């Protein structure tokens, strides 16, 4: 059985996220998602709209995802790869090179990002269209 692992915040879930999860799942037999906790996001100076529990609930409902685990810090990746017997670690190519240290433990693949969509773009679009930002 080939186990694939990816990480992310997966806030404001969109078709780019789903496409990443679908492509990652096709690389193996099971896909594990390390989901950034609210506390870890705070350490990264990142605030998610949805709570960890709600983001986890959403991810668990996606057919490509077999398991969701909490991502609590940057340093847990090696121990997660070992603990879950990960064969392939996958991230978007905007992270290219950042996780090459895992090549000692498993295959590392950086998948191309989906063009035209991102959580940042959604947030920017919503802020642009919000009446309070367009007041006279």
Residue 12 within any structural domain of the chain = yes
Contacts of 3 (CB under 8 A, 6+ apart): 28, 29, 30, 32, 84, 85, 86, 87, 88
Q: According to the model, what pLDDT value does residue 133 have?
A: 43
Residue 133 within any structural domain of the chain = no
Q: According to the model, what pLDDT value does residue 126 have?
A: 66
**Cβ atoms 5, 89 nearer than 8 A:** yes
**Cβ atoms 62, 21 nearer than 8 A:** yes
Residue 134 within any structural domain of the chain = no
Residue 70 within any structural domain of the chain = yes
Active-site residue list: 44, 46
Structure pTM?
Answer: 0.85
How many folded domains does the chain comprise?
Answer: 1
Residue 74: CB atoms within 10 Å: 10
Residue 129 within any structural domain of the chain = no
Residue 25 within any structural domain of the chain = yes
pLDDT at position 93 over 80: yes
Residue 131 within any structural domain of the chain = no
Cα gap 45→43, rounded to integer Å: 5
Q: What is the mean pLDDT of the chain?
A: 89
CATH classification at residue 43: 3.40.50.620
């Amino acid at each position: 059985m080939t186990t694939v692992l990816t990480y992310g915040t997966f806030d404001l879930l969109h078709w780019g996220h789903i496409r990443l999860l679908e492509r990652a799942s096709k690389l193996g037999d099971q896909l594990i998602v390390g989901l950034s906790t609210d506390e870890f996001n705070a350490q990264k100076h990142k605030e998610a709209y949805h709570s960890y529990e709600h983001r986890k609930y959403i991810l668990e409902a996606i057919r490509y995802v077999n398991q969701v685990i909490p991502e609590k810090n940057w340093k847990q990746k090696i121990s997660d790869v070992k603990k879950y017997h990960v064969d392939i670690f996958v991230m978007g190519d905007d992270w290219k090179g950042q996780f090459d240290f895992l090549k000692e433990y498993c295959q590392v693949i950086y998948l191309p990002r989906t063009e035209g969509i991102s959580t940042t773009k959604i947030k920017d679009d919503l802020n642009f269209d919000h009446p309070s930002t367009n007041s006279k």
